[in-house]
């Protein structure tokens, strides 16, 4: 069964877990979902029919190999809206004001300051940890912010992977896609290794996936913590 990474208002039990599975892995057929949750396909179809009637799930016909088309289920716009969105309307209004006064670079600078402050706050806890543990703690931090993140290891390369299944600022990123670059900068700062983004929610993927390639070493968390402490002394 899928582990719940976020609360879905109005849903619990297998239906909440089903919505989470679709969020992470859509599109999925009733048979694929039935296998995941160890129930019969007919039982799964009943759950899907309930969710479809509620307007949070839909299906399209897909041809997969030999045989007739199958029903592949995905979340609707209402289904996607069940997941955290970090006060999108209020944030967008604020960012539009910043953009009007300082240009789009001002929006990037706004997020860069936010990520830098968060990285500095996390640095002391991460400084002495090995890479894989730093990636895991960042995934937990992101999840606490509504991003439904997880740490993994690439099966082919053995490199650490950081993956988020929900973009809590998606409405902002759609209007100001440059803020995504500040997210990658945060990963480099707080983990100490520059990431390579291989999947992107804005490009239609189910997740934003970063592989920690190690091709270029950025500032280690310990360096960030020292730098931040120096900045504070200079302000005193």
- Number of structural domains the chain divides into: 2
User: Is the domain of 27 the same as that of 97?
Assistant: no
Q: What does the pLDDT read at residue 52?
A: 92
User: Is 8 part of a structural domain of the chain?
Assistant: no
User: Is the domain of 169 the same as that of 117?
Assistant: yes
CATH number of residue 117's parent domain: 3.30.1380
Q: What does the pLDDT read at residue 9?
A: 65
The last residue of a domain, from among 80, 104, 123:
80
Q: Alpha helix locations (H) across the chain? A: 13-25, 30-37, 41-53, 77-80, 88-102, 104-126, 131-144, 170-175, 179-191, 221-235
Q: What's phi and psi for 157, nearest 5 deg?
A: -100, -20
User: Is the domain of 130 the same as that of 216?
Assistant: yes
Q: What is the pTM of this model?
A: 0.66
Tokens of 128: 């002495």
User: Is the domain of 131 the same as that of 44?
Assistant: no
Expressed as residue numbers, the domain containing 97 is 88-235
User: Is the domain of 106 the same as that of 219?
Assistant: yes
User: Is the domain of 162 the same as that of 63?
Assistant: no
Tokens of 205: 């993927």
Contact 8, 19 (CB under 8 A): yes
- pLDDT, tens digit only, all 236 positions of the chain: 444 344 566 788 888 899 989 988 889 999 999 999 999 999 999 999 999 998 999 999 888 777 778 899 999 888 887 876 655 667 788 889 999 999 999 999 998 998 888 888 888 888 888 888 889 989 988 888 888 899 999 888 889 999 999 988 888 899 899 889 999 999 988 888 889 999 999 998 989 999 998 643 444 444 544 444 444 444 44
Beta strand 70-75 with 28-29 is: antiparallel
Q: What does the pLDDT read at residue 156?
A: 86
Q: What does the pLDDT read at residue 219?
A: 45
The last residue of a domain, from among 80, 102, 122:
80
Give the strands of the sheet with 149-153, arranged side by side.
Answer: 149-153, 160-164, 208-217, 193-199
User: Is 35 part of a structural domain of the chain?
Assistant: yes
User: Is the domain of 63 the same as that of 125?
Assistant: no
- Measured from the Cβ of residue 206, the count of other Cβ atoms closer than 10 Å reads 17
CA distances from 61 to 50, 58, 71, 119, 138 (A): 19, 10, 5, 44, 38
The last residue of a domain, from among 80, 107, 129:
80
User: Is 119 part of a structural domain of the chain?
Assistant: yes
User: Is the domain of 124 the same as that of 221?
Assistant: yes
User: Is the domain of 54 the same as that of 113?
Assistant: no
């Amino acid at each position: 069964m899928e582990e719940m990474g976020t609360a879905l208002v109005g849903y619990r039990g297998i239906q909440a877990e089903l919505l989470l599975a679709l969020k992470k892995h859509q599109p999925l057929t009733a048979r694929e979902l039935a296998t995941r949750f160890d129930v019969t396909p007919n039982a799964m179809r009943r759950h899907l029919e309930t969710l479809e009637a509620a307007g949070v799930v839909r299906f399209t016909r897909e041809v997969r190999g030999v045989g007739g088309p199958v029903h592949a289920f995905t979340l609707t716009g209402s289904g996607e809206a069940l997941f955290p969105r970090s006060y999108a309307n209020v944030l967008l209004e604020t960012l539009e004001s910043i953009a009007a006064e300082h240009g789009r670079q001002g929006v990037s600078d706004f997020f860069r300051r936010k990520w830098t402050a968060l990285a500095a706050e996390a640095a002391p806890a991460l400084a002495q940890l090995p890479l894989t543990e730093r990636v895991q703690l960042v995934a937990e931090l992101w999840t606490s912010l509504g991003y439904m993140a997880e740490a993994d290891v690439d099966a082919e390369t053995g490199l650490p992977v950081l993956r988020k299944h929900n973009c809590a600022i998606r409405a902002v990123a759609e209007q100001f896609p440059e803020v995504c670059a500040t997210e990658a900068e945060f990963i480099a700062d707080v983990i100490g290794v520059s990431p390579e983004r291989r999947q992107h929610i804005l490009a239609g993927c189910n997740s934003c996936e970063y592989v920690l390639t190690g091709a270029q070493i950025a500032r280690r968390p310990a360096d960030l913590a020292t730098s931040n402490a120096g900045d504070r002394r200079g302000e005193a």
